[in-house]
Amino acid sequence: MSFWKNLKDQLRSITSLSEHIDTAAAETSIRNSIYFRGPNVWILFFSIIIASVGLNVNSIPVIIGAMLISPLLGPVFGIGLGLGINDTGLLKSSLKNTLVMMGISIVASFLYFLITPLNLSNPTELLARTNPTIYDVLIALFGGFAGIFELSRKEKGTVFSGVAIATALMPPLCTAGFGLANGNLGYFAGALYLFTINCIFIILATYLTVKYMKFEQFEYKDEKAGKRARRFITIVTVIVVVPSIWSAIIMIRENTFNENVSEFINANKDQYNGYIMDYKTEHRNGSRVEIYFTGEPLSASEKNNLIESAKEFGLKPEQIIIKEHAIGENTDEAEILKGIYERTDSEIIRREDEIRKLEDELKKLHESDIPYVQVTKEALNQYPGIESMFIARGAEVVKDGYAKTDGILVLVSTSRPLDEDDRIRLSDWLKIRLASDNVRLYETASGAKEKISE
């Protein structure tokens, strides 16, 4: 019992926050960071332009640099703090400044993408900000926890910079501006949804931490005003918490469905006399997958077998749409071919990496090859008494089975024994010529005992 008690006390002392946090200083810091006036407005504008350029040219370092410059996180933490301490004034100011921040960001990125001459055919960094996943939820939630813990501790570090990068509030706003500039409402809506998800889960993490750390609650002089404030805070809290939980549940379901589809496709890619050349998942009106077959048409029994196989991966029959001979019908041929090329390119890159690794290994083997014939000719030219040479790589294994360092074995057959000086010179020359300090020279001569030089 004493062991568990000691362990519990030790864990409590390690994880205790009481001696390391300053909630009053954290509250002051957050209150001072929610406003967008003067230099903050221009810094935000410039950082948005930098991020837009990074997204436009697919430059991750530029995007990261812009996120470090931007003052976006302040009002978002302000909302969480306002909810946590029941301060409606702080909450309203934070909400207003968050909207100002969004407006400045979208306008700046819209103007950039409206006039930029750059037009990438495959803007992968922009595309990545239009489809939120469960990973974005987890990053925003735990990034929010890290951020409010950093703001609350007495000794500040570099955590907040990492939070700014990880939670990524800026890129979705830039992508929304791109969507407006190009008339792509899908990009605009998807990017704003990702931004909203990130904000909600940062606010949720801040709210929970403020409650856990017992920040000082805001006191209202008028009891009626206090009741109205608490009612307003409760409503806003419900509006924030309930959608965040529901969004997380939906994203978990979609992520699970996508993983199940991927496993199902890999297990049935070459079934029967057809071939699954591509597939597409859709989650707008319930999760489903369209599977594009090419080759000989599937019989009714083969389709049934395929659907039965899908059940093993957690997929329902109504979630599977099989399209045969998709190319040439009413389906989007360009999209299908694009999917095939993307998968083929990734496979080519993977195989090129494997080939490169094998080539490196082969190069190392070639470098370790011994030029047997040339070495023998050179030795014969220096020592006419040598009749033949046997050269091989090996390792000495001692009694206990332990192999010592690799070495080279040289067996010299001579017509007459080499004198001691010649044997030493030959051994030294072989070490230099074979680029190894571990050369063992064995000599055999007619009518002479075997001699060894190391």
Read off the pLDDT of residues 53-89 as tens digits, 9 standing for 90 and up. 887 777 778 878 878 777 788 888 888 888 888 888 8
**Range 344-363 average pLDDT:** 73
Q: At 452, is the pLDDT very low, low, confident or very high (cuts 50, 70, 90)?
A: very low
pLDDT digits (tens, 9 = 90+) for 154-164: 776 666 667 77
Q: How is 226-250 classified by DSSP, letter by letter?
A: HHHHHHHHHHHHHHHHHHHHHHHHH
Tell me which of 321, 336, 365 is where a domain ends.
365
State whether 211 and 279 are in the same domain.
Answer: no
Residue 5 lies in a domain: no
Domain-embedded: residue 327: yes
Calculate mean pLDDT across residues 186-211: 84
Do 210 and 309 reside in the same domain of the chain? no
| Residue 286 sits in the same domain as residue 389 | no
Query: Hey, is 87 helix, strand or coil?
Result: coil
Q: Are residues 63 and 116 in the same domain?
A: yes
Phi, psi values for residue 80, rounded to 5°: -60, -40
Identify whether residues 132 and 169 lie together within a single domain. yes
- Residues 253-273: pLDDT tens digits? 888 888 888 888 877 766 656
The pLDDT, as a whole number, for residue 405 is: 62
Residues 70, 194: one domain? yes
Q: Could you tell me if residue 437 is inside a domain?
A: yes
Asked if 24 and 166 sit in the same domain, the reply is yes
Amino acid at site 256: T
Structure tokens at 295: 């080759």
Contacts of 370 (CB under 8 A, 6+ apart): 391, 393, 408, 434
CATH number of the domain where residue 397 is located: 3.30.300
- Are the C-beta atoms of 252 and 134 separated by less than 8 Å? yes
Residue 204 maps to a domain: yes
pTM, full prediction: 0.58
Nearest to 294 by CA among 330, 322, 320: 322
Mean confidence (pLDDT) of the chain: 76
The one-character DSSP state at 276 is E
pLDDT of residue 101: 87
Measured in degrees and rounded to the nearest 5, phi and psi for residue 158 equal: -105, 15
Instruction: Supply the pLDDT for residue 328.
Output: 42
For residues 383 and 352, state if they share a domain: no
What is the pLDDT at residue 201? 84
Of 172, 198, 218, which residue is a domain's last? 218
N-term to C-term CA, the chain: 65
Q: What is the pLDDT of residues 339-348, one digit of tens each?
A: 555 556 656 7
Residues 88 and 167 in one domain: yes
Shared domain check, 377 and 360: no
pLDDT class of 330 with cuts at 50, 70, 90: very low
Among 364, 365, 386, 363, which residue's Cα sits nearest to residue 375? 386
The CA distance from 68 to 419, in Å, is: 75
Q: How confident is the model at residue 112 (pLDDT cuts 50, 70, 90)?
A: confident
pLDDT reported for residue 398: 66
Q: Write the pLDDT tens digit of every residue in 135-155.
A: 777 888 888 888 888 888 877
Q: What is the pLDDT of residue 407?
A: 77
pLDDT per residue as tens digits for the range 19-41: 777 888 888 888 888 887 778 78
Q: Is 422 exposed, middle or buried (0-12, 13-18, 19+ CB in 10 A)?
A: middle
Tally the domains of the chain.
3
Does the structure show a pLDDT above 80 at 92?
A: yes
Give percent of the chain above pLDDT 70: 76
Dist CA 148 CA 154 (whole Å) = 12
At residue 105, does pLDDT exceed 70? Answer: yes
Answer whether residue 333 shows pLDDT above 60. no
Q: Is residue 278 in some structural domain?
A: yes
Domain hosting residue 411, numbered range? 372-453
**Of 218, 242, 271, the domain-final residue:** 218
331 — pLDDT class (breaks 50, 70, 90): very low
What token pair was written down for 372? 């047997």
Q: How confident is the model at residue 327 (pLDDT cuts 50, 70, 90)?
A: very low
Q: Are residues 421 and 303 in the same domain?
A: no
When mean pLDDT is compared across 57-66, 86-95, 188-197, the lowest value belongs to: 57-66
* H helix runs in 153-222, sequence order: 159-167, 170-181, 185-212
* Residue 447 confidence (pLDDT): 46
Give the pLDDT confidence score for residue 332 in this predicted structure. 53
CA distance 22 to 153: 6
Q: What number of residues does the chain have? A: 454
Could you tell me if 104 and 148 lie in one domain? yes
Is 243 part of a structural domain of the chain? no
**326 belongs to a structural domain:** yes
Query: 286 lies in a domain?
Result: yes
